[in-house]
Structure 1
Amino acid sequence: MKSTGVIRKTDVLPVELRRTLAVTAWDRFEIFTDGETIILSKYDAACTFCAKLLSRS
């Protein structure tokens, strides 16, 4: 799995899927690729030093 370095808000997902998975407007996803497969993973930015989650903006 290879990270693309792209992080997007949930506007990339259809509203029906967001409702089914309980994804909010504030959730962000990191995009990975694996061959011809695209993988979306919820992204939570955390401080490198203390692992405290950073505020969502």
Structure 2
Amino acid sequence: MLGDGGSAHREIVDILLAHGADPLLPDADGTTARTHAERRGFPEIAAALLAAGGRTPSP
């Protein structure tokens, strides 16, 4: 998930978001892509998800 956070993975995130991917869609454990990006140290991906409306949902 999110690979190594490099430019290719950032581009994939941008493409998915541009085509309507839901940045708030959680995985099976209830964790969003933004949370994964933040935990793995990928600030550019986390920022892109936040800009697309990927705020951490309330429990």
TM-score with structure 2 setting the length: 0.22
> Which is richer in strand?
1
> Which is richer in helix?
2
